[in-house]
Amino acid sequence: MDADWDPAGLLWGDAELVNTTPVSTVGKRTLYRVRISSGLGRDSLIRMLLVPREPISSGVLDAPFLSLERIVSNGRIFWWSGQDGSDWVPDTSDSPPVGVDNFSGWGPDLPNTQRVGYRVLGTGVKLRRIAARPALGSFSELSTLHMRLGSTTLDFEATWNDDSEPGQILWARVPTGSTIQRIEIDGKTAQYQASEDPNLIQIVSNDDGNKQTQRLLMTLDTPVILNRVEQVPHVELLAWQPRDAVYQIYRGAGLNVEVQPNNNGVHLNASASASRRPISLGSLEVFVGEVKLDASVVGSRPLPLYVKASPAELPKHQSMVMSVQRSEENWTATVECRWGAQAGVIDYGFFEVPLALRDRLSAGQQVCHFMPHTDPAKTNLCIPIPGPDSQGIRKLQFSFPLDSVDSTQSVILPQVVSHHSPEDRVFVSLPERLSDQTVRWLLSGAPLQPLVDLPEGALPVVEANRLYELISGQTALSWQSLDQQSQEVHVNLVRVDITGITASEVFGYVRMWVHPRGQNSLDIAIPKNCQVLGIHSGDRPALWSPTDGALTVSLQPNYLPIPLQLSVVWQADSHEKLDLECPRPLLSRPPKLGLLSIADQTRWQPHLGQVSDQDGQDLWVDSWAQMVIEALGSVRQLSQSDVRRWVNNWRPEAFQIESQATINDSSLQAKLSDLDLNDDGAVQVQEIWSSIQLLNEDAPALSALPYLAVRSQVAVPVWQWSGSTIQLTRHDSPKRSYTGYLVALVWFALALTVLWIVRKMTSAWLARLFRQDWFLWLVLAITLWCLLPIAWPSWVAWALCAWAASNQLLELRRHLARTGGY
């Protein structure tokens, strides 16, 4: 044994000391001879009490060990049974702990001791002195069990008062099969090591011994077993008795947890608790209940608390209705869902909403959680569903403000998708009266029909509302008063621009200048051989819906003139004559006069009996001025953004109107005086536009405006025409009207000229030829003849060529006269 230690007494367990004095001393080892008792019928045990020879003055002490001569030891185990309050602790960083049960019957049972064993891998174990600590006291325990479909997590929290602290080393027994995720002591990560017993761990604080431990946190993952009754997992601190203990149970969404009844005095309280933790966003948990355990229950291992977890099906709600209401300040939409008593376990409602509603959505006392969505413009909304009412019905409501434009009598409904509904049916409850007036609701200009028979399971709507079904979720609805005397839409002018003609199709635009007069839509008849590709309202796409032989286009705003442009294509049925039936507004007083322009006018021209000799460009400019001037009174009352949009829609360059064009309509002279313009003579477009710029300083100049319409590089005449059908006839170009003989003669002459030039071609001759003016004009005339689709530029070049040639002949004649023929 160690020479620094002496045995006390002669009886060493089953051995008897033969010599009271050591036989010999070798280095730091002392040898004693003992006699082993025989005939015991069991293994012999040598056990003795050792005391140090000298008082211990240093802070380190080697623990004594025994070794037997000529006997091989299977291993060394250090047994530590320090009394509470001891100022010594073993340094066992290199020695793994072993189970306490392996040491039953080894040494006296001391009260309030920690029975801990270590397997010694080296030559020994050192004891280190630490600062004196007060006597141990009790602690408070809080265990929180989070049960989910994938795994179960146990959060264990132990808190000591100021009058007691556990020291730097703690022993804990964890549930079987658990995985430790974290261990913290006073907010700092603590180290732990396992023992031979897989459920027993040693926890070591990283702080020095001068700091008292106040709080221990542990997080463990334990396996979840579904559809079977199991005891709840629990963490036990060895040699400690909790003063009070609380066990809380949470279940994740989609999991049903049943607490089994028992007769051990443990009762579950499902009401709210002061120690209840807030629910995190990622967990989406529901509080099941908590159990307050007394000392007798905590002392029993395991806890007499049993639960059964089973997956729950996602219930489907009866229906979802979005109710729209208007207050004095704004519009509000309220989404309501209901679940019946047979719906099963339902904890949260999941919806897909636009990201713009994130900061404006309200669910009353319920907390709204938002989770990312694959679409950056959307987000997933998660709301806890309140408990059932007396009839077992669970209701969920959330509301948000709506964007509306009262001037255009429209409101925008965002798309809200419920993940609980198997169908994509969208029900909207809309008010029947607004501002003490009965209204009619329209979608893309077409009236909405209310549902007479409510679908099965539909929610009742507000008494003042009616239920409608929409095809899509996000849309813009407009309303129209039925009490006021309605005025018919007025179409001031219709213009057809034909931009291209092929062998089978005719492409073009149909423009209509519309004054809504409070109406929200305009019906336009579409011929059978005509197809509408798109509609623009100003510089923006318009909302329109096709029907049989017609279409309905939304008029927004419905109190200002609107320039509509229809992109159309006709099916051509002839190569010599075309009858194009134009789209026409379905009005009691349709416009009697229109305008027509054809980009490829060299091959197609309108029927002479259908167009007038008057230039339609003047009517086009006067109509533009009339639409703009009549709207100025209403434009002055708009906001800057609305004025800016209206100005951009009616810019002159978008309609191929030059800034120097004049207004000649005498009926507009009185209205022009309201703009402080000179009404004695003709007023130019530039002057009217300058007056409009005073309404909005952001209105761009004419030169900075982009073009909306397709403009031809060649000047296109505009005709005035009447009727609903345009008759076009094809004619050949003047340059192709010659007879075949004349064309052959011209080509023969050109061939002879080319051959003669090639024969005479020398460098000096070519230089002299290119100095001739008539030759340059000849080359230019031939080039224009071949490249341009029209003939007159080449004829001008031919005339200049002839004039230059005649001047050269005259000059040659005068030269011969002066020189006498030389």
pLDDT above 60 (res 715): no
Q: Which tokens is 63 given?
A: 């623990």
pLDDT greater at residue 748 or residue 206? 748
Question: CA-to-CA distance for 220 and 223, rounded, in angstroms?
Answer: 10
pLDDT above 90 (res 49): no
What pLDDT is attached to residue 672?
A: 66
What pLDDT is attached to residue 735?
A: 47
Question: CA-to-CA distance for 173 and 20, rounded, in angstroms?
Answer: 44
DSSP code, position 112: T
pLDDT above 90 (res 566): yes
Average pLDDT over residues 392-418: 80
Gap between the terminal Cα atoms of the chain: 151
pLDDT above 90 (res 679): no
pLDDT above 80 (res 297): no
pLDDT above 50 (res 770): yes
Average pLDDT over residues 166-170: 69
Q: How many CB atoms lie within 10 A of CB 233?
A: 21
What pLDDT is attached to residue 211?
A: 56
Q: What Å distances lie between residue 486 and 445, 482, 489, 518, CA to CA?
A: 15, 8, 9, 8
Per-residue pLDDT reduced to its tens digit, 315-350: 665 678 888 888 877 889 998 888 776 555 567 788
pLDDT above 90 (res 535): yes
Question: CA-to-CA distance for 74 and 299, rounded, in angstroms?
Answer: 36
* Confidence grade of residue 15 (pLDDT, cut at 50, 70, 90): confident
Average pLDDT over residues 379-402: 84
What pLDDT is attached to residue 155?
A: 92
| Sign of the torsion formed by the C-alpha atoms of 517, 521, 527 and 533 | positive
pLDDT above 60 (res 780): yes
pLDDT above 80 (res 209): no
pLDDT greater at residue 302 or residue 807? 807
Which backbone phi and psi does 642 adopt, to 5 degrees?
A: -65, -40
> Where would I find the H helices in 761-791?
763-769, 773-787
Strand partners, 200: 173
Q: Which tokens is 518 given?
A: 């409070």
pLDDT above 80 (res 182): yes
What pLDDT is attached to residue 133?
A: 45
- Return the top range by mean pLDDT from 142-151, 280-289, 713-722, 758-767: 142-151
pLDDT greater at residue 43 or residue 670? 43
Which backbone phi and psi does 547 adopt, to 5 degrees?
A: -130, -175
* Confidence grade of residue 551 (pLDDT, cut at 50, 70, 90): very high
What pLDDT is attached to residue 664?
A: 72
Q: Please, are residues 424 and 368 in contact by the beta-carbon 8 Å criterion? A: no
Q: Which tokens is 314 given?
A: 């996602």
Average pLDDT over residues 164-189: 81
- Return the top range by mean pLDDT from 144-158, 195-209, 404-418, 619-633: 144-158
Average pLDDT over residues 253-274: 65
pLDDT above 90 (res 371): no
Mean pLDDT is lowest, of 574-583, 638-647, 712-721, for: 712-721
Helices and strands (H, E) in the chain, number of each type: 9, 58
Sequence-separated (6 or more) residues with CB below 8 Å from residue 608: none
Sequence-separated (6 or more) residues with CB below 8 Å from residue 132: 85, 87
What pLDDT is attached to residue 141?
A: 87
pLDDT above 90 (res 163): no
What pLDDT is attached to residue 125?
A: 79
pLDDT greater at residue 645 or residue 536? 536
pLDDT greater at residue 804 or residue 643? 804
Q: For the chain, what is the mean pLDDT?
A: 75
- Return the top range by mean pLDDT from 259-273, 424-438, 456-470: 424-438
What pLDDT is attached to residue 707?
A: 37
Domains of the chain (ranges, CATH numbers): 5-129 (no CATH), 139-311 (2.60.40), 320-481 (2.60.40), 488-731 (2.60.40), 738-819 (no CATH)
Q: Which long-range contacts (CB under 8 A, 24 or more apart) does 536-541 make?
A: 536/564, 536/565, 536/567, 536/708, 537/562, 537/563, 537/564, 537/649, 538/562, 538/563, 538/645, 538/648, 538/649, 538/650, 539/648, 539/649, 539/654, 539/708
What pLDDT is attached to residue 703?
A: 44
Mean pLDDT is lowest, of 79-88, 123-132, 403-412, 719-728, for: 79-88
Per-residue pLDDT reduced to its tens digit, 449-468: 888 776 655 566 666 788 88
Per-residue pLDDT reduced to its tens digit, 83-98: 544 566 677 666 666 6
Q: What Å distances lie between residue 258 and 196, 570, 646, 690, CA to CA?
A: 35, 71, 65, 78
What pLDDT is attached to residue 702?
A: 45
Percentage of the chain exceeding pLDDT 70: 69
pLDDT above 80 (res 421): no
Average pLDDT over residues 20-38: 73
What pLDDT is attached to residue 484?
A: 58
Q: What angle do CA 155, 158, 164 make, to 5 degrees?
A: 170
Q: Which tokens is 87 given?
A: 């100022």
* Confidence grade of residue 29 (pLDDT, cut at 50, 70, 90): confident
Percentage of the chain exceeding pLDDT 90: 5
Mean pLDDT is lowest, of 290-304, 337-351, 716-730, for: 290-304
Question: CA-to-CA distance for 612 and 183, rounded, in angstroms?
Answer: 95
Closest CA to 675 of 694, 659, 662, 660: 694
Closest CA to 266 of 242, 300, 217: 300
Q: What order of strands is seen across the sheet that includes strand 417-418? A: 369-371, 378-384, 348-354, 417-418
Average pLDDT over residues 754-774: 71
What pLDDT is attached to residue 711?
A: 39
